[in-house]
Amino acid sequence: MAQLYFKYGTMNSGKTIEILKVAHNYEEQGKPVVLLTSALDTRDGRGVIASRIGLKREAIAIETETNIFELISQLSYRPYCVLVDESQFLTKAHVYQLARLVDEKAIPVMAFGLKNDFRNALFEGSEQLLLLADKIEEIKTICHFCSRKATMILRTQNGQAVYDGPQIQIGGNETYIPVCRRHYFNPKQETKEI
C-alpha cells in the first residue's frame, strides 16, 4: 500500500545519503524512481541532489509553479517511488500534489527535509508534510557542541549566532550547524556532560 513518508532531520543528519541509498536500492532491483529537489538549492547546480560526503545524482528541479502530480502523471513510465529532497521548500500545493500521487496513483512518496528553520519555526513544506504524511520519521544526529540529540539548526555569520533574517538562505556547514535546545539558546555555554 502506497504511503506518504516525511523523513526529517537537522543539517548533517544524513537525509541526502538516505535518499540516495533508497534510490539505489530500488534501481538495483530494476525499479525506476523519480528524484525531485527544490530549484532553490543550487549549491551543486540546479536539479542536483548532493550529499556532504560527495555523492550526487541528477534530479528534477521543483519550481513554485511546478505541478508535481501532473509531472509524474505525464511520465512515459510508472515510477515505483517518488523521492523528494529539500522538501521543506515545497509549497502547500506541492505537498497536496504528493498526497494525490499516493492516494490516486498508488505511488509511494518519500520526502526528506528539515522540519524547522534557524528561527525554530516550521517551513511551509514541513508543516504540510507533518499534517498529511502517513509516516513521519526523524533522522537523528548529535549536537555540534555536545553529545545530545540535535533538534535545532543554528545559523551563524562570522562565527556568531544569528536568530533573525529571511527564512531561506541557502548554505551548508559554513552557515548552519545542528544543535541541541540548550546550545541553540546558549551556543557559547560550556558543556558538562551529566
Question: Look-up: residue for cell 535546545?
Answer: 181
Q: Which of 86, 174, 190, 193 is catalytic?
A: 86
- Do 112 and 83 touch, CB atoms closer than 8 A? yes
Instruction: Of 190, 111, 93, 85, give the one whose Cα is nearest residue 146.
Output: 190
CA distances from 91 to 44, 84, 135 (A): 22, 13, 19
- Give the single-character DSSP code of 15: H
Question: Look-up: residue for cell 544524513?
Answer: 14
86 included as an active-site residue: yes
HEC assignment per residue over 104-173:
HHCCCEEEEECCECCCCCECHHHHHHHHHCCEEEECCCECCCCCCECCEEEEEECCEEECCCCCCCCCCC
C-alpha cell at 76: 512515459
> Which residues are catalytically annotated?
86
